Amino acid sequence: MTRPSPGYECFRRWTQSYGDVYTFWLGSTPYVMLCSYDIIKETFIRDGDTYVDKIQQPFQEKFRGGSYGVVETNGAMWRDHRRFALHQLRDFGLGKDLMQEKILIEVGEMFKQFDATQGAEQDVPKVFDVAVANVINQVIFGYRFDGEKEAEFKRLKEIMDFQEKNFNNFKTILAVFIPGLGRILPGPTIDELLDSYKTTFYTFFDARIEEHRAKIDFDSIESQDYAEAYLKEQKKRESTGDSTSFCDKQLSNMCLDLWLAGLMTTTTTLSWAISYVLNDLKVLEKVHEEMDRVIGSDRLITTGDKSQLPYMSAVVNECQRCANILPINLMHATTQDTIIKGYHLPKGTGVIAQISTLMLDEKIFPEPYKFNPDRFIDEGGKLRKVEQLVPFSIGKRQCLGEGLARMELFLFLSNFFNRYQMSPSSEGPPNIDKSKDFGILPRRFSAVLRKRS
Ligand code: HEM
């Protein structure tokens, strides 16, 4: 393979050596990496339809029982379900106050947990994990993990920890893409890993779906959550003779995609965000100075305050840039023959918009590994818009949950910082070195919180 092994710095160096378009081979499959904003704009934005497909990975179909969900599907299946999910997210209150209300309830619950143990070292990411899980589970299944449901979350968390532990290393990625090699590597095979992971998740989703089916009122117009809206749409389509496009298997797989994409990305970003700030407490001082000047109390901060809090927004931007949670973005495929910079790419060629390299481009972000929110503040003290900040990717497959994620990051972080003074635990600030990681894992750490007066 290569030295250093594939990861942020390796992709950055390859871009410096080979230019902003080069080929990266995973097993026997070539992927064309697009590594500058100009080339990504020229392809994924200006010619979006040509880059919209996903490479079909055999292990995905095996895992899902066919081509299902929204993250891995192509054509009408992908288009229909992406549109439907976006529509439901809007109906549940994105852009209105409803979603914000749900998130602020979680902020309040989170405060109760942190307040109860203030002054002592506490596991901060653990509390954020539950808060974010409650938000996405409300969207999909309409309830929070409180009271007797707490055990449910504990079980799901165990599976996610299992996934984190077993799937975020280069050996496993190699085994996925080069199955022959996977069979001779030590440890459990990919099939064994996927089997245990899959059974638990689908069992959870299918049980929730059956509960919905048992109590659904098909005559009610409003739906409380995604699963209810889906079952109604399924019935509507079946009545017109279409029994395939909104089938049961697709519902389980949509729940899986929304749940996993909605939870792990956001919790990982939040844990990195707090880790960066714990490593540079001067940033927290500046946040507090802005909060005291603009908010001046412990009232809940809402999205209505955002335009008055440019430094806070710059902190969120810089946390997303540095967290840079996908060292390799998801793999796309060309839908037709095309030409990039004079190179001919036949239909079906793997193409990757390399957003992690873009967010570490030193021409745009000098000293790219330095955590520096001020890079997003202009001379007039206002928030500076930087096109190259693309943590949610670009083009027709751009993150489906971007609106929800942005709202969660701003509301969770701004309210958390406004309420607490924070200091590292006796172990010191969390480790923020990513140089040895291929995948990116959430940070696990404790910190001491004290309510600000
Ligand atoms: C900080 C949080 C998040 C980050 C950084 C993030 C980032 C991304 C990225 C980079 C992609 C790949 C786009 C591409 O293929 O080019 C993606 C896709 C996706 N994300 Fe997110 N995401 C976040 C939160 C969420 C949330 C909250 C949801 C769910 C509500 C979600 C659902 C999805 C889905 C379903 C896709 C696949 C879209 C498609 O293929 O059409 N994400 N996300």
Model confidence over 317-364: pLDDT tens digits? 999 999 999 988 999 999 999 999 999 999 999 999 999 999 999 999
Which of these, 323, 142, 345, 327, lies nearest to 227 by C-alpha position?
A: 142
* pLDDT tier, 194 (very low <50, low <70, confident <90, very high otherwise): confident
Q: What is the DSSP code string of 148-213?
A: GGHHHHHHHHHHHHHHHHHHSSHHHHHHHH-HHHHHHSSSS-HHHHHHHHHHHHHHHHHHHHHHHH
Could you tell me if residue 447 is inside a domain?
Answer: no
pLDDT of 372 above 50: yes
CB 38 within 8 A of CB 387: no
CA separation for the pair 140, 252 (Å, rounded): 11
Could you tell me if residue 345 is inside a domain?
Answer: no
Could you tell me if residue 201 is inside a domain?
Answer: yes
Percentage of the chain with pLDDT > 70?
A: 92
* pLDDT tier, 174 (very low <50, low <70, confident <90, very high otherwise): low
Is pLDDT larger for residue 167 or for residue 234? 234
Nearest C-alpha to atom 19 of ligand 1 is from which residue? 399
pLDDT at 114: 97
ipTM entry: 0.99
Could you tell me if residue 340 is inside a domain?
Answer: no
Phi and psi torsions of 245, nearest 5°: -70, -30
pLDDT at 175: 66
CA separation for the pair 136, 321 (Å, rounded): 23
Q: In this structure, what CATH number is given to the domain that contains residue 225?
A: 1.10.630.10
pLDDT of 261 above 80: yes
CB 51 within 8 A of CB 39: no
**Alpha-carbon distances of 405 from 90, 103, 203, 315, 319, rounded to whole Å:** 13, 11, 26, 15, 13
pLDDT at 437: 64
Mean of the pLDDT values across residues 185-208? 79
Mean of the pLDDT values across residues 110-131? 96
Ligand 1 lined by 70 (C-beta under 6 Å) = yes
Q: Domain residues for 257?
A: 67-324+359-421
pLDDT at 245: 93
pLDDT at 1: 41
Could you tell me if residue 136 is inside a domain?
Answer: yes
Is pLDDT larger for residue 449 or for residue 185? 449
CA separation for the pair 70, 79 (Å, rounded): 8
Nearest C-alpha to atom 7 of ligand 1 is from which residue? 392
How many structural domains are present in the chain? 1
pLDDT at 169: 63
Mark residue 178 as left, alpha or beta (left: phi above 0; alpha: psi -120 to 50; beta: remaining). Answer: beta
Q: Which among 24-33, 91-100, 197-206, 351-360 has the top mean pLDDT? A: 351-360
| H or E segment and range at residue 106 | helix 97-116
Could you tell me if residue 145 is inside a domain?
Answer: yes
**Ligand 1 centroid distance, CA of 392 (Å):** 6
Mean of the pLDDT values across residues 290-297? 98
Q: In what order do the strands lie in the sheet with 121-123?
A: 121-123, 446-451, 420-424
| H or E segment and range at residue 12 | helix 8-18
Which of these, 365, 400, 363, 398, lies nearest to 384 by C-alpha position?
A: 365
DSSP letter, residue 365: S
Mean of the pLDDT values across residues 50-65? 86
Which of these, 119, 440, 118, lies nearest to 273 by C-alpha position?
A: 440
* pLDDT tier, 159 (very low <50, low <70, confident <90, very high otherwise): confident
Tens of pLDDT along 24-42?
988 788 999 999 999 999 9
Mean of the pLDDT values across residues 155-165? 78
pLDDT of 14 above 60: yes
- Work out the mean pLDDT of the chain and round it to a whole number: 91
Ligand 1 lined by 135 (C-beta under 6 Å) = no
Mean of the pLDDT values across residues 77-86? 97
pLDDT of 426 above 80: yes
**Ligand 1 centroid distance, CA of 141 (Å):** 19
CB 354 within 8 A of CB 329: yes
pLDDT at 197: 75
CA separation for the pair 211, 94 (Å, rounded): 26
Could you tell me if residue 382 is inside a domain?
Answer: yes
Mean of the pLDDT values across residues 419-445? 87
pLDDT of 2 above 50: no
Mean of the pLDDT values across residues 425-447? 85
Q: Ligand 1: which of 44, 265, 319, 352 to mutate, most ligand atoms within 8 Å of CB?
A: 265
Could you tell me if residue 347 is inside a domain?
Answer: no
